[in-house]
Amino acid sequence: MTDVLPSAVEAIGATPVVRLDRITRGLDGTILAKLDYLNPGGSKKDRVARRIIEEAERVGALKPSQPVVELTSGNTGTGLAIVCGVKGHPFTAVMSRGNSRERARMMAALGAEVVLVDQMPGSIPGRVAGGDLELVEAKARELTAARGAFRADQFHHDGNWLAHRDGTGEELWQQTGGAIDGFADFLGSGGTYAGVTKALKGHDPAIRCFAVEPAGAAVLAGQPVRNPGHPIQGGGYSMSDLAYLRDVPIDGFVQVTGEEAKRAARRLATEEGIFGGFSSGANLAAALQLLQGEMRGRTLAVVMADSGLKYLSTDLWPEC
């Protein structure tokens, strides 16, 4: 048991790690899943929101009661809604209409103003591509200037990767006693991959870290973009220059299809009781590939990035 906490912000982090022994039955190796969907806002991005806001307050970049604006696919926005609500900062989330409506409703319920931006002509609802994100970025910049707001800037603020280095990665090392051979992560901003990789390799440089991208949109692996409108929400934006990865080693690349991510997410739910979203499924699908290939017989860690509750209106759960 822990002490009584002063706010929900203090409940962010220290998430459990579980072995996926039912899914790996018959395979040679182990997958460890860090359940970051159990954070108060239902995702790993709660860590990022807290670190960015507290660091900005500490250095004076964010004044008392100053508004905060950020672009989001929904998870960082949810974390920011929680942190800003507790700390007294009005928060505006700017999000593409291509993201699931549960995310917008959750942020609004937590007190955020949610500004939805139309997708590019021809874009598919539920499939946010890089061009859609550029439209959201333009609107976020406009609102930041108009309101004299602090821009949380999750794609460039060091609080993103630092939250995962000092939190997620260090927790993984301590919880496993260092018994990790590899780590795989589906790339959005790249903050989780960068932070966890720096933490783990800081303890043991032999740990192999793999960047996971959507099949058909694996630009960091040097492949041509054939499917920018993949269904794996929250990442895979075909961005070839992710700021957090510029000085971070990548030991290998893994591609997963949207269908593979969906099947893996459904297996997490039915076989392990873990109700994760698209990127959690992508992480599991990648880990299964690795266990059947170059990481056979090893122990791999992945992050369960967000909750499946945020996708009930999507085809991730078509039977619902």
**Catalytic: which of 34, 44, 45, 87?**
45
- Percent helix, strand and coil across the chain, each rounded to 5? 40, 15, 45
Residue 163 near residue 48 (C-beta atoms within 8 A): yes
Annotation says 45 is catalytic: yes
Cα gap 130→225, rounded to integer Å:
11
Q: For 130-169, give one letter per residue: b (16+ CB within 10 A) or e.
A: bbbbebbeebbeebbeeeebbbbbbbebbbbbbbbbbbbb
- Contact partners, residue 289, CB within 8 Å, separation at least 6: 254, 256
**Catalytic: which of 189, 279, 280, 307?**
279
Cα angle 72-74-80, degrees, rounded to a multiple of 5? 75
Annotation says 279 is catalytic: yes
Annotated catalytic sites, by residue?
45, 279
